Amino acid sequence: MRAYIYDGQPGDQRAPHDSGKPVSLEDLERLHVKAFPGIDLAKVEEIAKERGYKNRDEINVSKAGLGDIYEEKIKGFFREHLHEDEEIRYIKDGRGYFDVRAQDEKDWIRIAVEPQDLLIVPAGIYHRFTLDEGDYVKAMRLFQDEPKWVPHDKSDETDKNPHRAQFLQSIKA
């Protein structure tokens, strides 16, 4: 797992878009993004138990796995959005990119994930996801309660979301 500033250049969202400006795991931690590179399932289970995550499912993000809704889903994942719950993903196979807004809200931080990487994206942070050029990822999604995935696309209304406000307050502290 590695993180860097997204270069902002036009082109395929699945390309690396590496600006050459690295971002450390400590920098991610300041945004309450928790990264666990190269861990096994036993460690995933330990983290899930610590955080109260009882449920999980798997998603196969590929043309074969999603069928006719593939293009729609990929576009939806890449729209800037937030969730009202943490987003926890353990990569089992394939590769992709999670982009999170930097503290200055101008830059994107691109986090390249690969098998055995676990990423926890906090509630209220604007982010997006895309596959890499391999067009495939299989990930375990973890949930505290019943599986749900509700994206709230960036808007003036979403900017006022209480989970967004709480996130912004937490990174100022």
**pLDDT given for residue 147 in this prediction:** 62
Spans of the chain, pLDDT less than 50:
none
Q: How many domains does the chain have?
A: 1
Binding residues: 81, 83, 87, 127
pLDDT of residue 144: 85
28 with 109: CB under 8 angstroms?
yes
pLDDT of 77 reads 92
35: CATH: 2.60.120.10
Annotated binding site for Fe(2+): 81, 83, 87, 127
Q: Specify the pLDDT at position 104.
A: 86
pLDDT at 149: 72
Q: How far apart are CA 66 and CA 111, in angstroms?
A: 23
On whether the CB atoms of residues 82 and 15 are closer than 8 A, the answer is no
Report pTM.
Answer: 0.94
What pLDDT was estimated at residue 146?
A: 72
CA–CA dist 155, 149 (Å, integer): 18
pLDDT number for residue 148:
66
Q: Where is the binding site for Ni(2+), in residues?
A: 81, 83, 87, 127
